[in-house]
Structure 1
Amino acid sequence: MSKLVVFCDFDGTITNQDNIMAIMKKFAPPEWTPIKDDILGQRISIRDGVAKMFSLLPIESKDEIISFVGKQAIIRDGFSEFVSFVKNHDIPLYIISGGIDFFIHNLLEPFGPFAGVYCNESDFSKETIHIEFPHGCDEQCTSQGCGCCKPSIIRSLLDQDAVSVVIGDSITDLEAAKLGDIIIARDFLIEKCVELNITYEPFENFHDVIKIIDAKLGVEL
Structure 2
Amino acid sequence: MKPVIFCDFDGTITKNDNIVSIMKQFEKEQTETIIQDVLDKKISIQEGVGKMFSLLDSQKKDEIIQYLEANAEIREGFDDFISYVKEENIPFYVVSGGIDFFVEPLLEGLVEKEAIFCNSASFQNNHIEILWPHSCDDLCQNGCGCCKPSVMRKLATNETFKIVIGDSITDLEAAKMADFVLARDYLVKKCEEEGIPYKSFETFYDCLSILKEELEVRT
TM-score range, shorter chain: over 0.9
Residue in structure 2 matched with residue 214 of structure 1 by the alignment: 212
The alignment partner of 1:98 has SS state of strand
Letter in 2 for 1:134: P
Q: Which residue of 2 aligns with 1:155?
A: 153
- 2:59 maps to 60
Aligned residue number for residue 29 of structure 2: 30
Identity of aligned residues (%): 50
In structure 2, distance between residues paired with 1:203 and 1:22: 22
CA–CA distance in structure 2, aligned partners of residues 44 and 14 of structure 1: 25
Q: In structure 2, the residue corresponding to 1:218 is in which secondary structure?
A: helix
What's the secondary structure of 1:172's corresponding residue? helix
Aligned equivalent of 1:167: 165
For the 8 Å contact 2:104–2:113, the answer to whether it is kept is: no
What does residue 5 of structure 1 align with? 4
Instruction: State the 1:124 CA deviation.
Output: 0.8
TM-score, normalization: structure 1?
0.96
AA in 1 matched with 2:79: S
Cα displacement (A) at 1:169: 0.5
Q: Which residues of 2 match residues 1-221 of structure 1 at below 5 A?
A: 2-113=1-112, 116-143=115-142, 145-220=143-218
Q: By how many angstroms is 1:113 displaced?
A: 2.5
Normalising by structure 2, we get a TM-score of 0.97
- Per-residue CA deviation, residues 83-129 of structure 1 (Å, 9 max, x unaligned), is 00101111000000000001111011121337611000011111111
> In 2, are the aligned partners of 1:93 and 1:114 still within 8 Å (CA)?
no
Q: Deviations over 1:51-78 (max 9, x none)?
A: 0001111123222111101110100000
Deviation at 1:139, TM superposition (A): 1.2
Mapped partners of 2:126, 2:205: distance in 1:
43
Comparing 53-62 with 124-133, which one deviates more in the overlay?
Answer: 53-62
Count of residues in Structure 1 that have an aligned counterpart in Structure 2: 219
1:46, 1:207 → 2: CA distance? Answer: 30
* Larger helix percent: 2
Q: Verify the 8 A CA contact 2:69 2:106 in the aligned structure 1.
A: yes
- What CA distance in whole angstroms lies between the structure 2 residues aligned with 1:115 and 1:90? 16
Large movers: runs of 4+ above 2 Å? 112-115
Letter aligned with residue 95 of structure 2: I
In 1, are the aligned partners of 2:184 and 2:201 still within 8 Å (CA)? yes
- CA–CA distance in 1 between the matches of 2:18 and 2:155? 26
Q: 1:35 to 1:23 in 2, by over 3 A?
A: same
Structure 1 residue ranges without an equivalent (≥5): none
Matches of 1:157 and 1:47, distance apart in 2? 22
